[in-house]
């Protein structure tokens, strides 16, 4: 039987491969694996989703599975994946779940787990969760059953405030076009940029459950390119459905892809003395041009397998080396 978890959680055709029953049983199993070390209080989980029509169904099923295992669940509804990771890193949150199929078309959906601290799961933990699927156990009863609550506005505001506080310069005087892919950034990204002082032109921020990633966002940048040029914007950014990736467009409408963005950031951080070990971590999908450019700038590159969790693992290793 093939492994259920792929490079970024569980993903497939919603209601056929990724079903409400699967979400329910995954929630039950994940609770047993990820909160077994919690003592003296009830475990807490946060669930977010993107704007797909199947998202609410799967999020409710996931919440039921977690609550049946004694976990208190907080729904934050539509929020970008990085926002869910941020919330999961908050005090008292033991696990997070994102219901999203990222850049995939609307009919797909997926389930991504985050451990306490906001980090994606290691392969061994995913395998342990999968091994418990469908296995009977003594579930809690009475007051031991978890509570399910909703906190949308509070979560949005917390994440927007975090984004604004993460930069120490004003964006005043900049005109920025934002393509939200009719996805999870439709509310938070424009608001965060406006609070930083930018003039923001928003496109594809009217999700209806069906139009996520449809001829828009990071997989279809043509509209962004046209809008940047037509409005005389300084640049533009496009996200995918859950905003775990983006690309940019310069003032002339030229693409600035992920490799170029990483290269620019790495050089800037090195110049500021803030690039740990003068090292940039990339996946094997990055092109040779980036590797050579970084070498010329005195920056070491470390390559990992495909998947942001592998990149993060390597980054944490570099941070560990820097403190030895």
pLDDT in tens, 161-216: 999 999 989 999 999 999 999 999 999 999 999 999 999 999 999 999 999 999 99
Same fold, 10-157 and 169-256: yes
The CA distance from 267 to 297, in Å, is 7
Report in angstroms the alpha-carbon separations of 42 from 39, 95, 154.
Answer: 8, 12, 21
b (16+ CB within 10 A) / e for 86-123: bbbeeeebbbbbbbbbbbbebebbbbbbbbbebbbbee
Continuous H helices in the chain = 20-34, 55-68, 81-88, 123-131, 152-165, 188-195, 222-231, 258-271, 288-296, 308-322
90 — pLDDT class (breaks 50, 70, 90): confident
Return the residue matching tokens 């693992």: 313
Give the 3-state secondary structure of residue 239. strand
Q: Is 97 helix (H, G, I), strand (E, B) or coil?
A: strand
CB distance 239 to 245 below 8 Å: yes
273 burial class (0-12, 13-18, 19+ CB within 10 angstroms)?
A: exposed
For residue 324, pLDDT over 70 is answered with no
| In the chain, domain spans | 10-157, 169-256, 273-322
- Condensed to tens digits (0 to 9), the pLDDT of residues 11-27 reads 999 999 999 999 999 99
Beta strands 108-115; 95-99: pairing state: antiparallel
Select 169-256's CATH number: 3.40.50.12780, 3.40.50.1010, 3.40.50.10490, 3.40.120.10.
3.40.120.10
| Predicted local confidence at residue 35, as pLDDT | 83
Q: How far apart are CA 47 and CA 74, in angstroms?
A: 6
Please provide the CATH number assigned to the domain covering 10-157: 3.40.120.10
pLDDT digits 0-9 by tens, 23-57:
999 999 999 998 887 888 899 999 999 999 999 99
- Higher-pLDDT residue of 220 and 322 is 220
The reply to whether 102 belongs to the active site is yes
Quick: pLDDT tens for 256-303.
999 999 999 999 999 999 999 999 999 999 999 999 999 999 999 999
Among 29, 68, 102, 218, the active-site one is 102
**Torsional sign, CA 99, 200, 167, 305:** positive
φ, ψ (nearest 5 deg) of residue 120:
-70, 160
């Amino acid at each position: 039987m093939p492994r259920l978890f792929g490079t970024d959680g569980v993903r497939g055709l919603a209601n056929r491969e990724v079903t409400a029953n699967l979400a329910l049983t995954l929630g039950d199993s994940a609770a047993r694996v990820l909160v077994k070390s919690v003592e003296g209080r009830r475990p807490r989980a946060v669930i977010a989703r993107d704007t797909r029509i199947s998202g609410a169904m799967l999020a409710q099923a996931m919440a039921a599975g977690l609550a049946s295992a004694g976990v208190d669940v907080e729904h934050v509804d539509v929020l970008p994946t990085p926002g869910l990771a941020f919330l999961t890193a908050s005090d008292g949150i033991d696990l997070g779940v994102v219901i999203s199929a990222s850049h995939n078309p609307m009919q797909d959906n997926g389930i991504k787990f985050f451990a306490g601290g906001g980090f994606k799961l290691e392969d061994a933990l995913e395998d342990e969760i999968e091994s418990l699927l469908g296995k009977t156990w003594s579930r809690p009863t009475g007051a031991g059953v978890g509570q399910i609550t909703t906190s949308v506005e509070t979560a949005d505001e917390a994440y927007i405030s975090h984004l604004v506080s993460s930069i120490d310069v004003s964006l005043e005087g900049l005109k920025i076009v934002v393509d939200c892919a009719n996805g999870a950034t439709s509310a938070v990204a424009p608001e965060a940029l406006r609070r930083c002082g930018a003039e923001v032109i928003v496109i594809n921020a009217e999700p209806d459950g069906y139009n996520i990633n449809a001829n828009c966002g990071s997989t279809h940048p043509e509209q962004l390119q046209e809008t940047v040029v037509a409005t005389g914007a300084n640049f533009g950014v496009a996200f995918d459905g859950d905003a775990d990736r983006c690309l940019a467009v310069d003032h002339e409408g030229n693409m600035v892809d992920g490799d170029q963005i990483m290269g620019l950031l790495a050089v800037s951080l090195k110049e500021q003395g803030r690039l740990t070990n003068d090292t940039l971590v990339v996946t094997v999908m990055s092109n040779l041009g980036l590797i050579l450019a970084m070498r010329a700038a005195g920056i070491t590159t470390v390559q990992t397998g495909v998947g942001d969790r592998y990149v993060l693992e390597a980054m944490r290793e570099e941070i560990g080396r820097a403190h030895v």
